[in-house]
Amino acid sequence: MTARTSHRGTVVLGVSSSIAAYKAADLTSKLVQSGVDVHVVMTQNATNLVRPQTFRTLSQHPVITDLWSVPDWRPEHIALAELAQVLVIAPATANVLAKLANGIADDALTTFALAHEGPLIVAPAMNPRMWRNPAVRENCRRLQGRGVTIVAPESGRVACGTDTEPGRLADVSRIVSTTLAHLAGLSLRRDSTDRQKILVTAGPTREVIDPVRFISNKSSGKMGYACAEMALAAGHDVTLISGPAATAPPPGCRFIAIESAADMAVTVRREFPDCNLLIMCAAVGDYRPATPAQQKIKKTKGKLTLTLERTEDILAIVASLRKPTQKVVGFAAETVNVDANAVEKLHAKKLDMIVANDVSRQDAGFGTDENVVTLYLPDGTKHSLPRMLKIDVAAEILRHTLPL
């Protein structure tokens, strides 16, 4: 087994015999491109779908397919278990889920899974009828009860032609994001007595103009979702309140969907008293139409004037409810005077930290997977971060706010 350094860590990717096995090649490639050292373990049946040489080429490591091809004196699965930090099984068949749930180890992959002591991420892929089978769902519940992260399958076309029910392997980008979060989360993990309740807001809000139009902003929700995913990977209980976003909620969070700034204000008011840390990442609209039209506004030759009114100041609401044991992190999305505006907001809102970013940049921020931010603390401390993935920004935010 060759050793290779990586700034992120080492992942074992388990590949089982779903037709989605070919997507595991893309997953391997994207993890390697992200700086992850990937070792692949395949079931024998999976090798009938994708040749091991594909994964050997992409990972630059030998591929384990059975327990009897041992290159040195140590059992290969034990040697690899000592090296691996996270185990990802994608795709995971119903058969593999059953074996994992019941501790069966009858091949290289399931034997390695029993030897692995770190985080386990499982991405099922199968026919929708199989996915909704009570036995499969019960096996998933048992695994989740042991702390396994299940990246649930998505609706879409599968091998049998069905495209309306879940069963298809989750998008590779979701699996990559979850994996990177768990790698980064290893350094943030605490024991069970330090488990915190973390509330995250994310995404844009929409303010109705008429039944078919609304005012919104360019927020994709990716930064807030990354914060939620990182907090989950670090072992905390997470509630995510989100406006409309295209990103799927991280597996394991309690998810609350909202639409408007008023919805967000009501939900934060309800959820905040029970949390230890609030990360207020949502891009909440500052104004809304004072009187939304009940019918669609028809186009005319003249100008249309909308009268706008201020929305609720959610951080002011939080300040009135806040207990001394709670921390609040805010965000400042600015286009000019970024530093000055962020520091002013930090002190005016009495925040424990503010995360400032210049959203006029084209290479980071809204809609991208990367961000360039500066963290400001009330004592004047300033941490300027280089451009990095939003999941890594989330890790830095938690690193500077936890433990409470």
**From 140, 160, 253, 281, active-site residue:** 160
Residue 178 dihedral angles phi and psi, to the nearest 5°? -65, -40
**CATH level 2 (architecture), domain 9-184:** 3-Layer(aba) Sandwich (3.40)
How much helix, strand and coil, in percent to the nearest 5, is found in the chain? 35, 25, 45
pLDDT of residue 404: 62
CA 256, 89, 126: angle at the middle one, nearest 5? 75
* Residue 275 designated active-site: no
Q: Is 264 in a helix, a strand, or coil?
A: helix
pLDDT of residue 73: 45
pLDDT of residue 215: 97
Listed in order, the ranges of the chain carrying CATH 3.40.50.10300 are: 193-399
In the block, residue with structure tokens 């409470």? 404
pLDDT of residue 4: 43
Mark the ranges of the chain whose per-residue pLDDT is less than 50: 1-5, 73
Listed in order, the ranges of the chain carrying CATH 3.40.50.1950 are: 9-184
Length of the chain as a residue count: 404
pLDDT of residue 341: 93
pTM given for the model: 0.87
Task: Give the model confidence (pLDDT) of 113-158 as tens digits.
Answer: 999 999 999 999 999 999 999 999 999 999 999 999 999 999 877 6
Q: What is the CATH number of domain 193-399?
A: 3.40.50.10300
Q: Cα(148)–Cα(170) distance, rounded to whole angstroms?
A: 16
Cβ-in-10-Å burial (0-12, 13-18, 19+) of 117 comes to: exposed
